[in-house]
Structure 1
Amino acid sequence: MWLTLIAAVLFAATLNKQTYYALLSRPARQTGVFACALCLALLWQIKAGILEHLNIHILGVTAATLIMGWRLACLSALLAGLLLVGFTALTATQLPELLIFTAFIPIFLSYNLYLLCYHFLPKHFFVYIFVCAFLCAGAVGAAKIIISGGYFYLLGLYDLITLQENYVFYAVIMWFPEAMLNGMLITLLITYRPHWVKTFYDQEYLNK
Structure 2
Amino acid sequence: MLLSMFTAAVFAATLNKQTYRALLARPARQTGVFASALCLALFWQIQAGILEHLNIHILGITAVTLIMGWRLASLCSLIASLLLLYFTDLSADQLAEFLLFSAFIPIFLSYGLYLLCYQFLPRHFFVYIFVCAFLCAGFVGAAKILISGGYFYLLGLYDLPTLLDNYMFYAVIMWFPEAMLNGMAITLLITYRPHWVKTFYDQEYLNK
Give TM-score scaled by structure 2 length.
Answer: 0.99
Cα distance in 1 for residues equivalent to 2:171 and 2:157: 19
Partner of 1:96: 96
Partner of 2:26 in structure 1?
Answer: 26
CA deviation string 1:48-84 (max 9, x = no partner):
0111110000000000000000000000000000000
Q: Deviations over 1:2-60 (max 9, x none)?
A: 11101111101100111000001100000100111110001000010111110000000
Identity fraction in percent: 82
2:93 partner SS: coil
Matched with 2:74 is: 74
Equivalent residue, structure 1, for 2:119? 119
Residue of structure 1 in register with 2:199 after alignment: 199
Q: Which runs of 4+ in 1 moved over 6 A?
A: none
**SS at 1:13 equivalent:** helix
CA distance in 2, matches of 1:91, 1:143: 24
The amino acid of 1:55's aligned partner reads: N
Segments of structure 1 that go 5 or more residues without pairing to the other structure are: none
Give the count of matched residue pairs: 208
- Distance in 2 between the 1:20 and 1:56 partners? 32
Residue identity in the other structure for 2:3: L
Q: Return the alpha-carbon distance in structure 2 between the equivalents of residues 123 and 86 of structure 1.
A: 42
Partner in structure 1 of residue 181 of structure 2: 181
Name the CA distance, whole Å, in 2 between partners of 1:116 and 1:200: 14
Show the 5 A alignment for 1:35-46.
35-46=35-46
CA distance in 2, matches of 1:26, 1:6: 31
Number of the residue aligned with 1:55: 55
Q: Which runs of 5+ in 2 are unaligned?
A: none
The RMSD of aligned alpha carbons is 0.4
